[in-house]
Amino acid sequence: MESELSGFESRRVGQGLKRAPQVGALELKLLKVFKAVVEAGGFSAAQQQLGVSLASISKQVSDLEVRLGMRLCTRGREGFELSEEGDIVYRNSIELFRALDDFSDRISSSHRELIGELSIAVIDNTISDPCSPLIETLGRLARDAPKVRLSVHIESLGGIEKGLETGRFSCALVPGYHALGSFTRPGQFERWIAYEEQSGLYCGRHHPAFADAARLSMQALGGYDFVSLNYVNDAQRRELASRFTRLSCATQVEAVAMLILSGAYLGVLPHHYARQYGETGRMVRLAQDEFELGTPIELVRSQKGGSSAITCHFVDTLRAVTE
């Protein structure tokens, strides 16, 4: 962090520009606003999180630009976009706040009290899974450590991976079959299976197979168009390819459900998610005795820079809930 900003600052000073001021309490406040804007994807999107007006957010970011002596972003009809300088400031602000949290964590630990922030990321549509230990874990954590500021984010796998790499997220719950990007680099992440999600094959009431759902075998279903989540592992993908001739993929559970409900596709959904549509007669399960898919859901945390006492306490609590 220091070398990148120092080199950047030296170049600016060498060009005769004013040296950026030291970071004090006001700058920290403005940096928090800027960081929230970047992570929300724009000024308007950050309003709810920050709880202030759009004009106030815009003024605070402008004030930060003045105090740092650099243009951080562009905003307007074309949308929000970070400048090269803004990207440097954002990435280093993550490191700065991580260091401040680590300082607070160490001080609070000396008093045997957990104080600080815990940011957790989760894939979409897991709230209805009775096997998930997350909700009970969050409840226990709130009781055990009431001074910890909790934030839970629903993100795509790509967003979770990036957030773990940058330090935006302390840890995450993701499908264990995710085998893309840095999740597979040795020593980059610590991974532990928290629970298993069970899925099956479903069709919507407008699909030709709906009326004969109880009698149709997997072989009889093979000629229909099929949709699945795009992060199934290679073995599962090969099995599905051997059963269905026309496969499509979607990135989120809700997207798969939309295609199934359209009546044009069969698809794989978690049982806990599909139950709401089964109970209203909009969807039915197929080939119950032939097809069942188990997906390990892993707790993942970055090993970069170690883990705070708060993160360790969360992981220990999650483990206790699953025992």
Query: Are the C-beta atoms of 287 and 216 separated by less than 8 Å?
Result: yes
Section 218-228 average pLDDT: 88
Question: Is the pLDDT confidence value at 17 over 60?
Answer: no
Per-residue pLDDT tens over the stretch 146-169: 988 899 999 888 888 888 888 889
pLDDT at residue 1, rounded to an integer: 41
pLDDT at residue 108, rounded to an integer: 60
pLDDT at residue 200, rounded to an integer: 92
Torsion over CA: 215, 217, 220, 224 (sign): positive
Q: Is the pTM of this model over 0.85?
A: no
pLDDT at residue 307, rounded to an integer: 65
The encoded tokens of residue 1 equal 């962090």
Average pLDDT, the chain: 83
Per-residue pLDDT tens over the stretch 256-280: 999 999 999 999 999 999 999 999 9
pLDDT at residue 106, rounded to an integer: 66
DSSP 8-state symbol, 69: T
Domain boundary assignment for the chain: 2-93, 95-194+297-322, 196-295
Catalogue the long-range contacts made by 237-240 (C-beta closer than 8 Å, 24 or more residues apart).
240/268
- The secondary element (H helix, E strand) that includes residue 81 is strand 81-82
Per-residue pLDDT tens over the stretch 74-94: 877 777 889 989 888 988 888
pLDDT at residue 180, rounded to an integer: 46
196 vs 101, which has greater pLDDT? 196
pLDDT at residue 136, rounded to an integer: 95
111 vs 240, which has greater pLDDT? 240
Section 142-146 average pLDDT: 91
Torsion over CA: 166, 167, 171, 172 (sign): negative
CATH fold of 196-295, please? D-Maltodextrin-Binding Protein; domain 2 (3.40.190)
CATH code for residues 2-93: 1.10.10.10
The encoded tokens of residue 37 equal 């804007």
283 vs 12, which has greater pLDDT? 283
Question: Is the pLDDT confidence value at 13 over 50?
Answer: no
The encoded tokens of residue 277 equal 């549509």
pLDDT at residue 15, rounded to an integer: 46
| Residues 64, 34: Cα–Cα separation, whole Å | 8
Residue 116 φ then ψ, to 5°: 150, -155
CB atoms within 10 A of CB 290: 14
239 vs 42, which has greater pLDDT? 42
Per-residue pLDDT tens over the stretch 32-60: 899 888 988 888 888 877 888 888 998 99
**Superfamily name and number for 95-194+297-322:** Periplasmic binding protein-like II (3.40.190.10)
> Are both 2-93 and 95-194+297-322 of the same fold?
no
Question: Is the pLDDT confidence value at 101 over 90?
Answer: no
Tell which residue, 261, 259, 284, has the closest CA to residue 271.
284
| Residues 94, 97: Cα–Cα separation, whole Å | 5
Contacts of 92 (CB under 8 A, 6+ apart): 1, 4, 5
> How long is the chain?
323
